[in-house]
Amino acid sequence: MGFERNLTTGEILGQVLAMEKFKDANINNLVYMGMGEPLLNYDNVIKSVKMLNDEKLRKLGGRHITISTSGIADKIEILNELGVEIRLSVSLHAATNAQRDKIMPINRKYPLEQLIQSCKIYQQKTNKRVTFEYTVIKGFNDSKKDAEDLIALLSNLKSMINLIPVNPNSAGLERPSDRFLFDFYNIIKNKGIDVSIRAEKGTDIEAACGQLKTRYEND
């Protein structure tokens, strides 16, 4: 979709406040995701987190704030300096560099070895579990070997793996069958690793993750 510009701190906060007004409800969980890479807009994102967390402002607890990143390794290492106990989520989607290079260009700058090492440094400093998002794509990263590679990659980390069946898309990528998905899930679970399958919403109206922007551009 290309880069246009960074959101300002005010624009980030404005989205939260506008949604609260629209829904006439307080937001009590917040994820920085879907508006580009948060850690490439580090200063504005961090300032907004601090303001949302401030007791004199929104007073949203750090444990209710998640920053989701595609893997900006050097910024992950300094997230502990934020002073707010946020949650960290990493969009992984593949367990080898050869695979990840094909679907995540950022991997060429921050390959898996560097990314995982940065997550270990973050964890040593914070003692916080890291969530790894893994979009499961039929015939690409859904085999028994892929599951074993994923287990090996995360073996020395306290982690949670969130499996996400890929949504229908214009690129033609397909989700695995339920049997393949649950086989993949069970291989990970049987190794004692926390794992879940994301419950998705919006697929029926093409408004799920990765669909809405594409539909808008095609229209």
Question: pTM of the prediction?
Answer: 0.88
Between CA 176 and CA 143 the distance in angstroms is 10
* Average pLDDT estimate for 10-24: 93
Between CA 164 and CA 91 the distance in angstroms is 11
Residue 172 is predicted with a pLDDT of 74
Between CA 31 and CA 33 the distance in angstroms is 6
- For residue 1, count CB atoms less than 10 angstroms from its CB and return exposed for 0-12, middle for 13-18, buried for 19 or more: exposed
Average pLDDT score, the chain:
89
- Percent of the chain's residues with pLDDT above 70: 89
Domain boundaries, the chain: 1-93, 129-219
The CATH-assigned architecture of domain 1-93 is 3-Layer(aba) Sandwich (3.40)
**Residue 46: band (very low, low, confident or very high) from pLDDT cuts 50, 70, 90:** very high
Whether the pLDDT of residue 105 is over 90: the answer is yes
Residue 83, number of CB atoms within 10 A of its CB: 11
Q: Is the dihedral of CA 108, 113, 165, 79 positive or negative?
A: negative
Contact 162, 132 (CB under 8 A): yes
**Residue 168: band (very low, low, confident or very high) from pLDDT cuts 50, 70, 90:** confident
The CATH-assigned architecture of domain 129-219 is Alpha-Beta Horseshoe (3.80)
**Residue 1: band (very low, low, confident or very high) from pLDDT cuts 50, 70, 90:** low
Residue 167 is predicted with a pLDDT of 83
Residue 112 is predicted with a pLDDT of 98
Tokens of 202: 């919006």
